[in-house]
Chains A and B, each alone.
Chain A
Amino acid sequence: MTKKAAGDPVGTVMEGLGAAGYVAGPQLATAVHLALTLPRPLLVEGPAGVGKTALGSALSAMLGRRLIRLQCFEGLDFSQALYEWDYARQLLALRAAEGGKDDPDLFSTRFLLERPLLSALLAADGPVVLLIDEIDRADEALEALLLELLGEGQVTIPEIGTLKAKAMPHVVITSNRTRELSDALRRRCLYAWIDFPTVAQERAILAAHLPKAGSHLAVQVARLMAALRQLELEKPPGVAEALDLTAAASALGADRLQRTVLEQALSTVIKSAQDRQLLLEGDGQRLDKALASAEEA
């Protein structure tokens, strides 16, 4: 990739991601290019279902590197994210050493269990792609834990010392903005915002992922999604929902969206009772209007 980068590096990234089935615009491709070149972690924010997590997988495929994923959740701590001592082995080693001359070094790497962050840092097979997904779900303490890793490419284990990355992983961090991230974390990352795709982009995504779906159906679905996102839905449909709807319509044997097909496959798009009620109230006027805008040339 480096050789091609001399020409149009951003275009090369777009092509590379495209080959991995990910349709990226110039903004995101620029962000990825700079994240790889500088190199810096990339913080990606945007609404749910726009392909933030998929970017990590696509980057891994593009670079031909292993993907290590850390799925964040409330209560995630360093022992699940970074490392943990193998206490059972330590106790066994203590027992085995009882009466013997050897004094086992209980706090050596022999007894260290690598968790995703440490695995990514010490990967023997070159730089991996580290996807830290939905970091906003984790507690603030985890952010503090990441600062050393993201900034210096190292972690400090009190009992051992500092472990430096053999090869700095390509880090992609995603956030759905359910809470504000700290400035310290943001400062260590490049930033990209992914919004819902345009109709043309969504059509390209549908064509890339579901090549068997008719082009007319893909255009209709893309337009319908754009119309639904204009409504005040509690959970606006993302790209994943567009893919599901297209696949569902194809599975139902439809080559174009009609009211009956849409009603049958509505559960692929609408994920809350309130939204369903909003769309179907008044004999489904809103649904008809959205469908009509999908039909417009």
Chain B
Amino acid sequence: MDLAQQVDRVRDLAVRMRQAGCAIGPSQLAEALLAVTLVAPDQESQRLALRVTLARDQRALTILDQLFPWLLDASAEADQGAVLESAAPGLGRGVPIGHGAGAAPGPTERVAIPAASPAAGVGREALPAAAVDDDLSQGWVAPFLSWADRVGGPRATRGRRLDLRRTLRRSLTTGGEAFELIWRRHPVRRQSLVILDGSRSMQQWASQLLAVGRALRRRRPDTEVFAFSAETSRLSDRLSRPGLSLPAASWGSGTRIAVALDRVRAGAGLARRSHLSTVVVSDALESGPAMDLGQALARLRRRSAVITWVNPLADAVGYRPLTSSAQEASRAADRYLGLYALMRPQRGRSS
């Protein structure tokens, strides 16, 4: 393969990665082209060089690994069957790239890659079908978090330190005498807390609920995700595992949402937190006294700068919170909306 062909292949790969949602700028592409000339010509070295230069996060690494066999196929096709030097046995088309010693593994799940459009001019053949990844449909997250940060009031601050620069500049107005000391405070980053209701009545939306948690955690990895039914469990570190389901109670005796909220609030690592951006996803069908739910929410409010209550039932046309527990929830929350309404910004764009 001559240099011109190699340039074409790498450029095509970058185009495919862009189509899959990776932001690859011209300078990155130029770096990649340079990088492949700086390493050995075998497949594995080329792949590693492209991983370093074209990918900027784990997801991009996964996409590149999925596309690399396609790149090799295209190369082989262009070379009319020329055998490339290979240091990566099993690196065939459709075979997931082995993450052996030293290779960055990235996430294990495959990422959806759209088929190249004919207009792109790079679609030599269709890519392997990939499962739909709900993390791709997270366009609602940024506007949602932006709203939550905005309405939550000013961010909390901690500590204070003399701002010498501003003090000195202020003192210039008084002939060099520092009459007024100016202090600065450091803002504390706001952490998101997602509480998912896994009761039987919510199981029909289980996958969407988990998608909400995943999407928020992808955007802000310090997001804590909890689920409750009969028991409360922390899902934060397990969200990306395949086959994860919401913990469901094996009987339908109702859910004590208030108790669950208290458990989460007192849960590990949250006791000392404050100014959280809290999202509760539940149908608000409290089996205990509604007043308890109101009190639990008031306690949660002390830790939260903003509370969003997402009720899938609220997506129904003409829905109004008529039950006393739903009324308590809507009263305590800064925003009370349906699951569909939460994700509407993204849906609007895609339609």
Partner-B contacts on A (CB < 8 A): 8-10, 24-31, 33-35, 37-38, 40, 43, 45, 74-75, 79, 84-85, 87, 90-91, 94, 139, 177-180, 183, 186-187, 189-195, 197-198, 200-201, 232, 234, 274
CA distance A198 to B57 in the complex (A): 21
- Let me know if A187 and B55 touch, CB within 8 A: no
Looking at the assembled complex, report how far the CB atom of A73 sits from the nearest CB atom of chain B, in whole angstroms.
Answer: 10
7 residue pairs, one from A and one from B, having the closest CB atoms: A25-B102, A75-B186, A193-B104, A186-B56, A30-B48, A26-B102, A31-B52
Contacts A9-B38, A29-B102 known; A177 to B221 CB distance under 8 Å?
yes
Q: How far is the CA of A245 from the CA of B159 in the complex (A)?
A: 38
Interface residue B165 (Cβ < 8 Å from any Cβ of A): yes
> Taking CB as reference atom, which chain B residue is nearest A95?
B176
Q: Are A191 and B55 in contact (CB under 8 A)?
A: yes
Inter-chain contact A94/B189, CB cutoff 8 Å: no
- B40 and A27 form a contact (CB under 8 A): no
Say how far A204's CB is from chain B's closest CB, in angstroms.
Answer: 10
Q: Decide yes or no: A45 and B58 within 8 Å by CB, A25-B102, A27-B48, A179-B189 being known contacts.
A: yes
Min CB distance B143 to A, Å, is 15
**Shortest distance from the beta carbon of A199 to any chain B beta carbon, whole Å:** 10
Besides the known contacts A38-B34, A186-B57, 7 further A-B residue pairs in the complex with CB atoms under 8 A apart: A26-B103, A29-B102, A30-B49, A87-B168, A180-B221, A186-B56, A187-B23
CB of B164 within 8 Å of the partner chain: yes
- Tell whether, in the assembled complex, residue B53 and residue A27 are in contact, meaning their CB atoms are under 8 Å apart: no
Taking a contact as CB atoms under 8 Å apart, the answer to whether B31 and A27 are in contact is no
Report chain B residues within 8 Å CB of A232: 237-238
Count: A-B pairs, CB below 8 Å: 125
Q: Which residues of A contact B45 (CB under 8 A)?
A: 10, 26, 30
Q: Which residues of A contact B105 (CB under 8 A)?
A: 193, 195
Q: How far is the CA of A43 from the CA of B27 in the complex (A)?
A: 16
Task: Give complex CA distance A74, B44 in Å.
Answer: 39
Q: Say yes or no for B120: interface residue by CB 8 A criterion.
A: no
Of residues 102 through 137 on chain B, the ones whose CB sits less than 8 Å from some CB of chain A are 102-106
Number of B residues, CB within 8 Å of A: 49
Contact with A along B21-56 (1 / 0, CB 8 A): 001010110010011001110001100110111011
Q: Convert B149-189 into 0s and 1s, putting 1 for each residue whose CB lies closer than 8 angstroms to a CB of A.
A: 00000000011000011001000000010000000001111
Instruction: Please pick, from B39, B57, B101, B188, the residue contacting A30 in the complex, using a CB distance under 8 A.
Output: B39
Q: Closest chain A residue to B167 by CB distance? A: A87
Name the distance in Å between B266's Cβ and chain A's nearest Cβ.
Answer: 14
Q: Could you tell me if B268 and A74 are in contact, using CB atoms closer than 8 angstroms?
A: no
B220 at interface by CB-CB < 8 Å: yes
The complex places the Cα of A234 from the Cα of B268 at a distance, in Å, of: 11
User: Chain B: which residue is nearest A234 at the CB level?
Assistant: B237
CB distance from A200 to the nearest CB of B (A): 6
Q: How far is the CB of B185 from chain A (nearest CB, A)?
A: 9
* Chain B residues within an 8 Å CB radius of A234: 237, 268
| Least distance between B293 CB and chain A CB atoms (Å) | 28
**Shortest Cβ gap from A75 to chain B (Å):** 3
A157 to chain B minimum Cβ distance, whole angstroms, is 12
Given contacts A24-B102, A29-B102, A179-B220, contact A37 B38 (CB under 8 A): yes
Task: Name 20 A/B residue pairs within 8 A (Cβ), A-sorted.
Answer: A9-B38, A10-B40, A24-B102, A31-B52, A33-B39, A34-B39, A34-B49, A38-B31, A75-B158, A75-B187, A84-B164, A178-B221, A180-B220, A180-B221, A183-B56, A189-B56, A190-B53, A191-B55, A192-B104, A200-B101
